[in-house]
Amino acid sequence: MITKNSPLLTSQEALETIESVISSAQADAVFVSLNASESALSRFSENQMSQNLSKNRFSLSITSYFDNKSATASNTEIDPEAVQDTLRRSETLARLAPSDPEWVPLLQPQNYDRRLAAFFADTANISPLERGQKVQQVCSQCQKANVQGSGTFSSSSTLQALGSSTGLRAYQEGTEANFSVTARYKSGSSWSSRSAFSIADLPIDALTEQVIERCLASDQPREIQPGLYPVVFEAAAFADLLPWVIGNLDARSADEGRSFMSLLDKQGKPIGNYVGEPLFSPLVQVKRDPAHPLLQMGTFFDDGLPNQPLEVIEDGIPQTLSYSRYWAMKQGKEPTGALFPIVMQGSEQSIQDLIAQTERGIFVSRAWYVRYVNPRTLEVTGMTRDGTFWIENGQLAYPIKNLRFNQELPLMLRDVEAVSTVQRFGSTVVPGVKVKAFRFSSVTDSI
């Protein structure tokens, strides 16, 4: 049984719970997923703490199968009686469910990488007082600089265990810490964020100083005309754009003609995809790499498929698409699972080096509220925010008013001219990026 003072189960407790479900199951097959987490968040606004909260969560999900019919039931209690009630509910619902036309058999036992995800005690056990002290330091830095500082500082520890009647068993746990800060001064604003598996690896002081400096420099922005411009993206801004491309490397969408990766005939009917074709700049090198030094994430996906390193884009050429188990079976391919976490290769150059290489253009600190315009071409719209600057003769010359963009993201990757060192944002590791052409459609009033 889980001890009352512990928010997370041990591996033994988690796997024993799964075994109890499987041994009691009356269905043809059963799949069990167990998740537990402890998270904490400190929020600050206008240079003072505004919110401090902690959450302990537990969830158990049971899917029962009768032939090609299935149903899932879940609960948030680990009490043995509640677990058995959930199992019986899933079996009752599965008997009543319609046949699934996309049914696939449960996974057999898998071979996972022999490594552990990063789990750091300083992140899992940080106290509210320690979080408050770090937030206080950030607020003091902002107050000293006469700017209004706001943001969040969070930490979490998670556990996941899977099991099935086919003999599949999997267990992993990890920690993550996140920090974001926004500084405001008159008509100027700046923002940035970072993620790490250990709180000690978050550059809180340095990042706050950078945001303060850029905030002060962004006051009294000038207006420029919308149009097509060279752009240098801060890594944090690029981290909000690249996942749109990788997330759309889906095999089914491509094969059914619904993706920018779809190869169509003259009548617009799908006849293949663009895997193996040079679509992007040779500087675009992307992998799925949960073992990357900045990530050190788990070894399996929610359905039990292994999450192993995989080449996604090499020298600008897509190497694979994401195949679900059903679509892989239908197409005679191996299932890949999702193409996350994303790791794009960078260089030894700094973001200042990329700016110095730009005669005239725009520096973007943040891509905000990105949304689809045309899923087929992967055109998106969004806005710059929190510090947008005009680049002149290799320097940030002056702040400019924010702009709305309408851009086909595959063309953005085609036009990549330089990349900087990489940084981590959530489960994404990306560099800062310089592109030779990016389309801005209008001026916005946002700060």
**Within this chain, do residues 267 and 208 fall inside the same structural domain, yes or no?**
no
Is residue 222, in this structure, part of any structural domain at all? no
Q: Measured between alpha carbons, how far is 57 from 38 in angstroms, rounded to an integer? A: 6
Q: In this predicted structure, what is the pLDDT of residue 52?
A: 93
Is residue 61, in this structure, part of any structural domain at all? yes
**Within this chain, do residues 147 and 255 fall inside the same structural domain, yes or no?**
no
**Within this chain, do residues 237 and 147 fall inside the same structural domain, yes or no?**
no
Q: Measured between alpha carbons, how far is 227 from 400 in angstroms, rounded to an integer? A: 14
Mean pLDDT by 10 residues, the chain (447 residues): 52 95 98 97 97 95 98 96 97 98 97 96 93 97 98 97 98 97 97 97 98 98 98 98 98 97 94 97 98 98 98 98 98 97 98 98 98 97 98 98 98 98 98 98 90
Q: In this predicted structure, what is the pLDDT of residue 4?
A: 34
End position of a domain, from candidates 159, 183, 213: 213
**Within this chain, do residues 35 and 179 fall inside the same structural domain, yes or no?**
yes
End position of a domain, from candidates 164, 183, 213: 213
pTM of the model: 0.95
End position of a domain, from candidates 184, 213, 242: 213
**Within this chain, do residues 270 and 347 fall inside the same structural domain, yes or no?**
yes
Is residue 4, in this structure, part of any structural domain at all? no
**Within this chain, do residues 198 and 120 fall inside the same structural domain, yes or no?**
yes
Is residue 221, in this structure, part of any structural domain at all? no
**Within this chain, do residues 322 and 279 fall inside the same structural domain, yes or no?**
yes
Q: In this predicted structure, what is the pLDDT of residue 445?
A: 85
**Within this chain, do residues 205 and 284 fall inside the same structural domain, yes or no?**
no
Q: Measured between alpha carbons, how far is 141 from 155 in angstroms, rounded to an integer? A: 22
**Within this chain, do residues 396 and 263 fall inside the same structural domain, yes or no?**
yes
**Within this chain, do residues 288 and 355 fall inside the same structural domain, yes or no?**
yes
Q: In this predicted structure, what is the pLDDT of residue 3?
A: 33
Is residue 33, in this structure, part of any structural domain at all? yes
Is residue 2, in this structure, part of any structural domain at all? no
Is residue 82, in this structure, part of any structural domain at all? yes
Count of domains for the chain: 2
- What is the residue range of 437's domain? 227-443
**Within this chain, do residues 430 and 303 fall inside the same structural domain, yes or no?**
yes
CATH of the domain at 51: 3.30.2290.10
Is residue 184, in this structure, part of any structural domain at all? yes
**Within this chain, do residues 124 and 266 fall inside the same structural domain, yes or no?**
no
Q: In this predicted structure, what is the pLDDT of residue 7?
A: 52
SS (H, E, C) the chain: CCCCCCCCCCHHHHHHHHHHHHHHCCCCEEEEEEEEEEEEEEEEECCEEEEEEEEEEEEEEEEEEECCEEEEEEECCCCHHHHHHHHHHHHHHHHHCCCCCCCCCCCCCCCCCCCCCCCCHHHHCCCHHHHHHHHHHHHHHHHHCCCEEEEEEEEEEEEEEEEECCCCEEEEEEEEEEEEEEEEECCEEEEEEEEECCHHHCCHHHHHHHHHHHHHHCCCCECCCCEEEEEEECHHHHCCCHHHHHHCCEHHHHHCCCCCCEEECCCCCEEEECCCCCCCCCCCCEEECCCCCCCCCCCECCCCCECCCEEEEECCEECCCECCHHHHHHHCCCCCCCCCCEEECCCCCCHHHHHHCCCEEEEECCEEEEEEEECCCCEEEEEECCCEEEEECCEEEEEECCEEEEEEHHHHHHCEEEEEEEEEECCEEEEEEEEEEEEEEEECCCC
